[in-house]
Amino acid sequence: MAKNKKVVAIIVAVSLILGAIIAYRIYANIAANKERAGRVSQGRVVTVEAGKVTRQDLRPVHSFSASLEPIWSADISPKVDGRIDRLNVEEGDTVQAGTILAVLDTNELAAQVNQAEGSVFAARANLEQAELDFKRTAALAQQGAVSAQTLDTARIKRDLALGQLRSAEGNLALLSARLQSAAIEAPRAGVVAKRYLQAGFYAKAGSPVVSLADVTSLLAKATVGEAQIGEISVGIPAKVTVAALGNKEFAGSVTRVSPAAALPSRTFIAEVVVPNAGGIIKAGMFARVEIAGAVRKNVLVVPESALVLREDQKTVYVITNDNKAQQRVLKLGYVGQGVAEVLEGLQEGERIVVSGQNKLKDGASLRIAGPGEAADR
């Protein structure tokens, strides 16, 4: 047993030594390659195009993705249960406010209304009889011919008959309203977006029969980050580009900005209304919304093409007085429209590499390309 343990220990020790040797050789090769690449880069003169850090007025244009929705849509349902007798619309039909979309079978409701009308007539007759009895009893009570209890009984019968009449009238009004509700009307103008049921189906109160949408204007809901929300307000213009229509552009305006952020993303919703009088835009299409922010006066900018990404940091190569490349990490503001706003890292007038920086290393020797001469690629 002791001998086996000794063998295992020797094998483990040899494996560790071999692993350490292999790891060292890999590290040494990587370091040598980096050093060789650095020497090659330092010794090679790279031709680049140069530009200067300048100042200019900048108006950021913020771009957001959005899906186009109808400005208003609703599922239209009956107020009462019933079998659909007629369904008057098809998907895609345009209707006006008050258009009869569907009619339920009203035979049973009509019979109930007739019955309720009979109950009202009977209750009214009972009230008239009770009124007459009360008047006679009251006259007799004044003469002392009947007791006060008899007069009270006649008054109570009169009041009960009045209550029965009110109840019968209420029931008649309810059934009449249900009968009128058998005709399902469009609450406002729109297009029939979907038809859920067919004629002959039994529809329960509250279950949708058709979906109606107003597409004369469409709503683009853009998701805005907290960094941009301060520059967006109700009433400012917006440009909406629809990819499905060959990137056709439409003019709109911001009509609403959500007052509170959605958590945990901490984003806001900006609603942009896009007029659609010609019906070219279809609900559900994907769109890109562009909203111009406030003008930033005399800010420091560099060409966006000059930026180089290094370990998730935005950098540029500055050209030193002895034509060497010096890589600097930048703190940026707005980036777009071909320029980048520099908050920290550069000074106005410094020369930077704007083309040919893809093969550069920090400290590389540079040659500035002349007019019409291309940089190294």
Residue ranges of domains in the chain, CATH in brackets: 40-58+297-368 (2.40.420.20), 106-180 (1.10.287), 214-295 (2.40.30.170)
pLDDT of 7-61, one tens digit each?
666 776 667 777 777 877 777 777 655 555 454 444 578 888 888 999 999 888 8
Spell out the SS3 assignment of 13-58: HHHHHHHHHHHHHHHHHHHHHHHHHHHHHHHCEEEEEEEECEEEEE
As to burial, measured by CB atoms within 10 angstroms (0-12 exposed, 13-18 middle, 19+ buried), residue 215 is buried
As to burial, measured by CB atoms within 10 angstroms (0-12 exposed, 13-18 middle, 19+ buried), residue 308 is middle
What is the CB neighbour count within 10 angstroms for residue 281?
Answer: 22
Instruction: Give the C-alpha separation, 5 to 12, whole Å.
Output: 11
Q: Is the pLDDT of residue 370 over 90?
A: no
Q: Which residues pair with 325 in a beta bridge?
A: 319
The mean pLDDT value for 343-353 works out to 91
**What pLDDT does residue 318 have?**
92
**Joined tokens for residue 40:** 């090659």
| Mean predicted lDDT score pLDDT of the chain | 86
**What pLDDT does residue 12 have?**
67
- In the chain, the amino acid numbered 158 is R
- In the chain, the amino acid numbered 135 is K
- In the chain, the amino acid numbered 311 is E
Please state which of the ranges 19-33, 188-202, 319-333 shows the lowest mean pLDDT. Answer: 19-33
Instruction: Give the C-alpha separation, 52 to 231, whole Å.
Output: 29
Please list, residue by residue across 3-35, b when 16 or more beta carbons sit within 10 angstroms of its beta carbon and e when fewer do: eeeeeeeeeeeeeeeeeeeeeeeeeeeeeeeee
**What pLDDT does residue 162 have?**
92
**What pLDDT does residue 358 have?**
79
Q: Is the pLDDT of residue 264 over 60?
A: yes
Give, to the nearest 10 degrees, the angle between helix 148-181 and helix 107-143: 160
**What pLDDT does residue 362 have?**
85
Task: Report residue 3's pLDDT band, with 50, 70 and 90 as the boundaries.
Answer: low
